Amino acid sequence: MNDHLVRILSNDGSLRAVAAVTSGLTRTICRLQGTDPTASVALGRLVAGTALLGALLKGNQRLALMIEGNGPLQRLHSETDAYGQLRGSVKNPLAALPPKADRFDVAGAVGKAGFLHVIKDLGMKEPYRGMVQLYTSEIAEDLAYYLTTSEQIPSTVGLGVTLDENFAIATAGGFLVQAMPGGDESLIPLLEERLQQLPPATSLLSEGKTPLQILEQLFAGIPFSVQMETPLEFRCNCSRPQVAAMLRGLGADEVRAMIEEDQGAEVTCEFCKQSYAFTAEELAALPQLKS
């Protein structure tokens, strides 16, 4: 199944839901990052959550989720746009933690104390920035906690990542359900019952359920229509001009040190690992060295 997401709305407008399969793009991201099994599951969950929230973006809007915790992974970062192009990175890809009760210890790898940052570029002058303390550090609950408290939209998030026998990503994805503000609340008890009956996201994905099938199971008895279906893929939007702009923002002393000590600069993109080399001559031509 190709990576994609489906967004639906109940016919009475009171409930919105998104489901996504992100297996292929997550496999690529984890391979590029060199993650160990626990780090793969943690990063895979954050990337799936980013895909789900990305389904609510429009036009040229962008969204980034960043988790900074006191666990070995230190910082996880994932981004998307409204066109389903995702990228992700992790500061330390090796959690080096044993499984806990047959489960990957994601909360231990992320760390119990820390923050979830949500940065939305909505095309305004300044990006929107939201932040909550980590709630369980299992990521799905942290996202639901952020949406419910910070954005004040009651939300449930289920995320699932499974690995194959070589510890590469086998399946990844999840679902998000939201009670729309001001909507009729009469369907909520039925939805809560469905959520309780629903198998965990890992089981649904392992069974090969499509996003639409997951939503049909969740919304059984609740009439809905499909609002959007978007293919998802790994895509990094880094470029040489972007790196050059970053170099123009450095202090003159920092650039002089690069010229003298390294005879140039090599900048590696944290997401796709593409490296951009700049010669000493190119660095010497930067505007901050001309005064």
Question: What is the binding site for Zn ion (CB under 5 A)?
Answer: 236, 238, 269, 271-272, 274
Shortest distance in whole angstroms from residue 137 CB to Zn ion? 27
The Cα–Cα gap between 203 and 32 comes to 26
Tell me which residue has tokens 């965990």. 200
Nearer to Zn ion, 237 or 263 (CB): 237
239-244 — which CB contacts under 8 Å span 24+ positions? 240/276, 243/267, 243/269, 243/276, 243/278, 244/278
**Closest among 227, 284, 222 to 252, alpha carbons compared:** 284
Nearer to Zn ion, 88 or 108 (CB): 88
Shortest distance in whole angstroms from residue 276 CB to Zn ion? 9
Shortest distance in whole angstroms from residue 90 CB to Zn ion? 15
The Cα–Cα gap between 276 and 278 comes to 7
Shortest distance in whole angstroms from residue 242 CB to Zn ion? 9
- Structure tokens, 166: 């070589």
Nearer to Zn ion, 146 or 271 (CB): 271
Nearer to Zn ion, 67 or 238 (CB): 238
Nearer to Zn ion, 145 or 271 (CB): 271
- Structure tokens, 165: 């026998």
CA distances from 75 to 29, 44, 186 (A): 15, 14, 40
Calculate the CA dihedral of residues 238, 121, 144, 21 and round it to 10 degrees. -40
